[in-house]
Amino acid sequence: MTHFPQPHPSRRAARVQLGDSVLVAIRLEDGRRTKAKLQSISVTGGLLQLSHSLGQGDFVEVAFQTQAGPVHGMAEVLSPTRKMAGGVLQPFRFVALEDDDHRRLRSSLDHVVDRNMLGMKSSAFATH
């Protein structure tokens, strides 16, 4: 069964900052592929560091590795937030995740939040 993440109207989903250690494979609607680095992630979306911006409103497939396993989902690309040397930061929101992908994502996020509360570093998201 497919999970359709819904943002809570009055509360943002907890975000986990990842730096630039998690690689993301992206497939665009026309079949082209690109790569990005995942800066932050939540159960509703994330922030990508890309060499060039994607089209706002585009639907893409995103895939990345967590300690709980791979996460693959459909996402809508949002407006770029900041240009920087060698690239751009651009948010996305998940529009569909299979149940297993959602479970792996939530498990990895919960693991990071729990470890952060204990003052420990986490490797719930794979680094490549």
| Confidence at residue 56, expressed as pLDDT on a 0 to 100 scale | 95
Residue range 62-68: mean pLDDT, rounded: 93
Domain range enclosing 37: 14-117
- Give the Cα separation of 108 and 102 in Å (integer): 10
Backbone angles phi, psi at 37, to 5 degrees: -115, 135
In a domain, 6, yes or no: no
- What CATH number is given to the structural domain containing 71? 2.40.10.220
If one counts the domains in the chain, the total is 1
Q: pTM to 2 decimals?
A: 0.80
In a domain, 123, yes or no: no
For residue 13, the one-letter residue type is: A
In a domain, 2, yes or no: no
Residue 20 has pLDDT above 80, yes or no: no
CA angle 64, 102, 17 (to 5 degrees): 55
In sequence order, the 6+-apart residues with CB closer than 8 A to the CB of 107 are 66, 68, 124
